[in-house]
Amino acid sequence: MSADRPVWVDDPRSYWAAIDAAVRAARLPSPVLAVDAIALEHNIADLARRAGGVPIRVASKSLRIRSVISDILRRDGFAGVLAYTVDEAHWLATAADLPDVLLGYPSADVDAIERLVADDTARSRVTLLVDSVEHLDLIDRAVPPSAREPVRVAIDLDASLRYAGGLVHLGVRRSPVHSVSDARDLARKITGRRGFSLVGVMSYEAQVAGLANDTEGSALRNKAIGVIQARSMRELLDRRGKAIRAIGEYAELEFVNAGGTGSLEVTAADRSVTDIAAGSGFFGGHLFDGYAHFQPAPAMGFGLDVVRRPARDIVTVLGGGWIASGPPAADRLPKPVWPQGLSYIGSEAAGEVQTPLRGDAAKRLQVGGRVWFRHTKSGEPAEHANEVAIIDRGADGGPQVIDVVPTYRGEGKCFL
């Protein structure tokens, strides 16, 4: 084994076997979710390095473990949270005592907005995202401006690449605020209304951050994606900078959030950006195996018990269908990684309750054995488990469970 390469790279078999041994020694039942503390520390340090000194805003949807979110935010180079619902943002601002929470998506939940606005602490710490006057009207319906202190809002600036008057669209379909004039117009309308304080901008370049550019066996596709991503960032840096200056004519902005795990380096080069979002890169799902410019450690995995053996070379585990978001495809499925040599059966894939797996390794597995999987992105595993085992290395170098902490689900929270 190489002394300068981590065990998950040099000997993944030993890495996952040791995690399994630690979890079994702690007598943790399946399904069991585990985070390797050393691998997580590796990813935290690598994300900060790639961001080049620009603070990273933690995307909570990709973690959904409050103690881990809070721990990361105590580190240099990390500041603020990108939340995904109003109730979650409210909870993080109060129960987790986090002072800077940006809602990464607009909301139409009038009741949740009303609860947020009624809580002085939450209202002062949470920034709502808007991309139209409709969102302002909805907030006013929740609590009239005459009955509230100003609500903090940020504009969602579309970061997609468009050609031919929008007929060609590369990126996600999010905000209608795309042009500099769109941004200026919405900023003018926000600042011209009572009850709002325009404090920030969010602008997520999904076509750069969220597209793998080194997929095995797809050389032409990888090259095309690289060209598109480079062209997209050139266009975006110019347009986003102009849009931020236009918005700045109406409000003094506290922050401009952009990017994601896959775009840290290029987003950090945009001088209009004050912080960059990252989430999935902390736990290192297998989606990132197809990225050329970075390789996160597989810091999280989940173990499922073998419950039957329908054939000599097939075992069935309980659970498995922890599917990631995005276009339905094989890359959204969890990846069986230990024991090595197991694969899905094409006619069934990962099941809601049971998952058959085929391979030579199945011949050696007995009922009660355990198979370990890597998730695809990051948010999905915590929705299926109440707690997660934190694994660290003991004085002898052997891994052991040092803590068991609740997920959002374990704390009784289901925000979406």
Q: 214 falls in which pLDDT band (50, 70, 90)?
A: low
Q: 217 falls in which pLDDT band (50, 70, 90)?
A: low
Mean pLDDT on 144-167: 91
Q: 7-36+295-411, which class in CATH?
A: mainly beta
Proportion of the chain above pLDDT 90, given as a percent: 78
- The residue whose two tokens read 């809002």 is 153
Mean pLDDT on 203-222: 73
Where do you find CATH 3.20.20.10 in the chain? 38-282
Statement: residue 394 has pLDDT above 80? no
Element (H, E) at 194: none
Residues 76-96: tens digit of each pLDDT: 999 999 999 999 999 999 999
Statement: residue 239 has pLDDT above 90? yes
- Which of left, alpha, beta for 387 (phi over 0: left; psi -120 to 50: alpha)? beta
Round to whole Å and give the CA distance between 134 and 132: 5
Q: In 250-398, where does DSSP find H-type helix? A: 264-268, 280-283, 379-382
Residues 39-80: tens digit of each pLDDT: 999 999 999 999 999 999 999 999 999 999 999 999 999 999
Task: Give the mean pLDDT of the chain.
Answer: 93
- Which of left, alpha, beta for 300 (phi over 0: left; psi -120 to 50: alpha)? beta
Q: Indicate the residue type of 248.
A: G
- The residue whose two tokens read 């399946």 is 30
Three-state SS for 136-166 is: HHHHHHHCCHHHCCCEEEEEECCCCEEEHHH
Q: Which residue has the higher pLDDT, 374 or 326?
A: 374
Where do you find CATH 2.40.37.20 in the chain? 7-36+295-411
Say if CB 391 and CB 22 are below 8 A apart.
yes
Proportion of the chain above pLDDT 70, given as a percent: 96
What is the fold of 38-282?
Answer: TIM Barrel (3.20.20)
Q: At residue 277, what are phi and psi to the nearest 5 degrees?
A: -80, 145
Provide the angle, in degrees to the nearest 10, between the axes of the packed helices 110-118 and 133-142.
60
